[in-house]
Amino acid sequence: MAAIIILLICLHLCTADLGIMEINRIPCAHDNWSGNDRFMKHHLHPDTPTTTDIEEWTKFIKKINCCSRVMQSFLNPEQTSKVEQVCTEAGGKVFQPNNNLCISKDKFTFIEVRVSSDECKVFKVSNVTQNIILGCDRFREKCLPVHFESNSNNKTPQKSDTNCGSALEVWN
């Protein structure tokens, strides 16, 4: 019974940020009380392995109870403030209209793992360097990351794009 409850909680936590984005969203304009906490657990975890060793990554994914997501990305927790800056004018540009996404001005190096969910085993660990795309919402008067969007086409921001975080000004 307990195992089933834990599994259900994990399924919920692990799939919650795959939900369909609301339309008419812009970065930093909506309050989101739980999104940043979840982002930190899933993408900026303090215990993130610093190697590309498959065994270590399997142990870690089991420990944080996230076996159900087949592809997961982990940023370097030492870069937390730099990651948070992607949701501000200093570090990010609005990625596309009608969404809360911002793309980083700088490239980040992070680890991408592929998980075989039925056995809860990591089978591929890649060290990726690219611009990152984050969902950014308001939390306690700050604009913070709430979602990691994969940048599968290796997009980069344009100089002419609006800076991220501009919507926060309107509110303050």
Binding residues for ligand NAG, rule: CB under 6 A, are 16-17, 19, 30, 32, 35, 50-52, 109, 127, 135, 137, 146-147
Nearer to ligand NAG, 96 or 127 (CB): 127
Nearer to ligand NAG, 16 or 158 (CB): 16
If the CB atoms of residues 50 and 116 are measured against ligand NAG, the closer one turns out to be: 50
Q: Closer to ligand NAG at the Cβ: 93 or 147?
A: 147
For 2-52, the DSSP string reads: HHHHHHHHHHHHHHHTTSPPPTT--TT-SB-SSHHHHHHHHHS-TT--SS-
Residues 6+ apart with CB under 8 A from 153: none
124 strand-pairing partners? 114
Question: Taking the C-alpha atoms of 52, 58, 59 and 61 in order, what is their torsion angle to the nearest 10 degrees?
Answer: 100
Q: Least separation, in Å, of the C-beta of 127 and ligand NAG?
A: 4
Beta carbon of residue 159, minimum distance to ligand NAG (angstroms, whole number)? 26
Distance in Å, CB of 61 to ligand NAG, minimum: 15
CB of 35 to ligand NAG, least distance (A): 3
Least gap, CB of 50 to ligand NAG (angstroms): 6
**Token pair of 85 as six digits:** 């800056």
Residue nearest to ligand NAG (CB): 35
| Nearest residue to 91 (alpha-carbon basis) of 130, 132, 128 | 132
Classify strands 121-139 and 71-74 as parallel, antiparallel or unpaired. unpaired
Phi, psi angles (nearest 5°) of residue 127:
-95, 110
| Nearest CB to ligand NAG, comparing residues 152 and 158 | 152
